[in-house]
Amino acid sequence: MVFPECDTNYVLVLGVGNYLMGDEGAGVHVAQRLGERDLPLGVEVLDGGTGGFHLMGIFEQYEVIILVDATIDGEPAGAIRLLEPRFASDFPRSMSTHDIGLRDVVEALQITGRLPKIYLITVSAEELEPMTIKLSPAVQHSVGQIADKLHTLLWDWWRERNLASSAGETEDFLHTFA
């Protein structure tokens, strides 16, 4: 897919999670970090918090959604993974507190035929600590890494799409992330 005119919303970096539960809020922290930086036109950042169904209309407005969320998947704290979930059932099982959440939104978008391309970047947490808004050092480090990496990649991508005569496919997007 060719990168569209610059005034179109194209990519949304959507950080989700519960800010009140330590590492569970990693996605929100990434959104906050990235939101403070210059980004190409057509790229937006949203702190989705524990948005659930409220996010459905937002998903529909973009071609590509880069979700960032915490997960407990048995990996050491701070481990970063890039997934390309096609169905709600592809989402890692133990994602966060938002039960009526992303899976349902993704499923609903599938039913209505409006599912955008989704990339999911997960940050592994070992323990969700309630009663704190602080991140563990390992996750804190990964949050910075993800924000930096996304910043670089989004600009690279933008340049490539706008300068190269033969535009690539969106499927290639983020291929150098991991």
Partner 1 sequence: MSQRIVVDPITRIEGHLRVEADIQNGKITDAFSSGTMVRGIEKILRGRDPRDAWAFVGRVCGVCTTVHSLASVRAVEDALDIVIPPNAELVRNIMFGTQYIHDHVVHFYHLHALDWVDVVSALKADPKKASEIAQSISNWPKSSPGYFSDLQKRLGSFVESGQLGIFANGYWGHPAYKLPPEVNLIAVAHYLEALEWQKEIVKVHTIFGGKNPHPNYLVGGMACSIGLDDVSAINAERLAYVGQLLEDAKEFVNQVYIPDLLAIAPYYLDWGGIGGGLGNYLVYGDLGANGYRDPSAYKFPAGAILNKDLSKVHEVDMRADAEIQEFIDNSWYEYPADAKGLHPWKGETDIKYTGPKPPFEHLDTKQKYSYLKTPRWKGNAMEVGPLARVLVGYASGREDFKAVVDSTLQKLNVPAAALFSTLGRTAARGLESILVADWTLEFYNQLISNIRNGDTRMANMDKFDPAKWPAKAQGVGHTEAPRGALGHWIVIEDQKIANYQLVVPTTWNASPRDGEGKQSAYESALMNTPVAKDQEPLEILRTIHSFDPCLACAVHLYDEEGKQVSRVKVL
Q: Which residues bind partner 1 (CB under 8 A)?
A: 18-21, 24, 47-57, 60, 72, 87-89, 93-101, 103-104, 107-108, 110-112, 128, 130-133
Residue 88 beta carbon to partner 1: minimum distance, rounded to whole angstroms: 6
- In the chain, the amino acid numbered 127 is E
Q: Which helix H or strand E contains 165, and what residues bound it?
A: none
CA-to-CA distance for 1 and 126, rounded, in angstroms?
38
Query: For residues 128 and 139, which CB has a smaller minimum distance to partner 1 in the complex?
Result: 128
CA-to-CA distance for 133 and 136, rounded, in angstroms?
10
Q: Which helix H or strand E contains 11, and what residues bound it?
A: strand 11-16
Query: For residues 112 and 152, which CB has a smaller minimum distance to partner 1 in the complex?
Result: 112
Query: For residues 91 and 173, which CB has a smaller minimum distance to partner 1 in the complex?
Result: 91
List the beta strands (DSSP E) in 17-135.
43-49, 64-71, 80-83, 117-124
Residue 9 beta carbon to partner 1: minimum distance, rounded to whole angstroms: 14
Residue 104 beta carbon to partner 1: minimum distance, rounded to whole angstroms: 7
Query: For residues 60 and 172, which CB has a smaller minimum distance to partner 1 in the complex?
Result: 60
Query: For residues 50 and 173, which CB has a smaller minimum distance to partner 1 in the complex?
Result: 50
Backbone φ/ψ region at 47: left (φ over 0), alpha (ψ -120 to 50), beta: beta
How many residues appear in the chain? 178
For 56, 99, 109, the CA distances from 53, given in Å and listed in that order, are 6, 11, 11
Question: Helix H segments across the chain?
Answer: 26-35, 56-59, 102-111, 137-163
Residue 78 beta carbon to partner 1: minimum distance, rounded to whole angstroms: 18
Residue 140 beta carbon to partner 1: minimum distance, rounded to whole angstroms: 18
